[in-house]
Chain A
Amino acid sequence: MYNGWSLKKLHRLIVQSSTWQQSSEFHGEAYEADPENRLLWRMNRRRLEIEPWRDGLLSVSGELDVKFGGPSIDLNKGDNRRRTLYGFVSRHRLDELLRLFDFPDPSITSASRAVTTVPLQQLFVLNSEFMAQRARALVRRLNAKDVMADEEKVRQAYMLLFGRAADDQELATGVAFLSVESAKEKLSRWEQYALALLSANEFLYVD
């Protein structure tokens, strides 16, 4: 109000505040006093909405088409690598992927997006061809450089997906999984490992 009701200035005030800039780190004492975080002692951990999550998957696998503008395209089209923003939205029959991940009904107004965590979403994560393709592409990306040992590739994958170094335990877990000979499958052992990393909570939630 002091700034002539400017929302822009209000937003700036909010995002520059130390309250807004907190991490979602846990503090036992604060948790005891206010487990629901009503007093905002930390940032609430957020799940990525479908758009940034799908874009993120395509981005780390090196496939995202960042072209600006253009007509909307069915998200289920096999070769659709465009940003999810350009996905085709039907008011009559909302895209299955969008609906599954809490995209609101486009024929009515929606004040905010619901966040649900249900098994049908995880079926998409574990079984869809979309995820399998991202896993394949991610492995291609990791193999594109010089020949590297598994451990080095695991290190690169962590940096690429989570923006941090993998610790010793994580390296060991990865190498152990990769060293097991698996039955002949349509996804190689490395592609299976990549799929697990892409499906991880760390990729889906923002601290």
Chain B
Amino acid sequence: MHSMFSRREMLTRSGTGFGMLGLSSVLANEVGAAAAPDPMIPKQTHFPAKAKNIIFLFMNGGPSHVDTFDPKPELKKQEGKPGKGGKYMSSPYSFKRYGESGIPMSEIYPHLSECADDLCILNGMHTSTPNHEPGLLMMNSGAQQPVRPCLGSWVTYGLGTENQNLPGFVVLCPGKPVVGPALWGNSFLPGIFQGTHINNSKIDPKNVIGHIQNRNLSSTSQRQLLDLLQQINRKHLEKREQDAQLEARIQSLEIAYRMQFEAQDAFDVSNETDTTQKAYGPGQFANGCLVARRLVERGVRMVQVYYGSGPAVGRSR
């Protein structure tokens, strides 16, 4: 994505216009007489991409920018003076610049400041409404009003995903955030681009994806049934030459069969080594981050991890 646009263009388009990312394939992918291929197949970018996946940590109600990465010297001067709806309060924390890039960071991040040069921090985000719901929508879909497709839907729509045995866009959120599924909604894009929501307050690898487990048949019987079905489908296809949609469904059945095994493994954090599990630590959010890592390692295009489901208000002290 970085090389597709200049920095300025990127900023313009990523704010309220990331629809542009997908636009190139809007026309190419219309379902018409000749069936469209699987819409999740990875697409070529205009220029070689450096990044392959996105992990989007959405930390609902995180600490204020004023206390973390965005020092406001003017606020110090106005300290205690009456402002809109209250008195001005400057940050109680001291700031320093870190790394070669000189990113300002507050003292609350002693460890993070050591990796300053690995970070890219954007302090230019802005919405015109200070409420949570429009803010959440703005952040995820680029518009304060419902309903527009969210970032993950556009990304998978425009770029596809690398592992066809897993969903392309996964959302890990404990329960539902205030706005609800509209935050990972596909809106007017086809339904498959909606985020696959997984409640990470309790991840059961056998239940994360709908119907991922066959409760009636052993894998041997499943395979036999599928072989029979494919034999019937191929005979049907023989008399119907050159039909990509029929072939696509035959393929899709095979992938579904494989997905059962791959998905259960991907979501099973207990398969990680003790060292890795310890490094991530305990808790829902840590667990969500570790699952996100396992998913992108397997080629899932975009994973979003929510911290908490309700909004938190206020400053860190």
A interface, CB within 8 angstroms of B: 24, 26, 28, 31, 35-38, 44-45, 47, 92-93, 96, 99-105, 107-108, 110, 114-129, 132, 169-170, 173, 177, 180, 182-183, 185-187, 192-193, 195-197, 199-202, 204-205, 207
Contacts and interface: CB of A to CB of B under 8 A. Distances in A.
Contacts of A169: 235
Contacts of B190: 102, 114, 116
B33 A36 contact: yes
A183 B32 CA distance: 44
Given A117-B249, A192-B217, A192-B221, 11 more contacts: A44-B33, A45-B246, A100-B210, A114-B190, A114-B191, A116-B192, A122-B257, A127-B213, A127-B215, A177-B228, A195-B225
Contacts of A104: 188, 191
Nearest to B180: A92
Nearest to A177: B228
B181 A193 contact: no
B33 to A, nearest CB: 4
Given A100-B191, A195-B225, A123 B212 contact: yes
A123 B256 contact: yes
B211 A123 contact: yes
Contact of B246 (A36, A124, A201): A201
Contact of A96 (B35, B210, B217, B222): B210
A132 B216 contact: yes
Q: What secondary structure prevails in chain B residues at the interface with A?
A: loop
B185 interface: yes
Nearest to A176: B228
B183 to A, nearest CB: 12
B315 interface: no
Interface in B184-200: 185-192, 194
A205 B245 contact: yes
A14 to B, nearest CB: 17
A195 B256 CA distance: 16
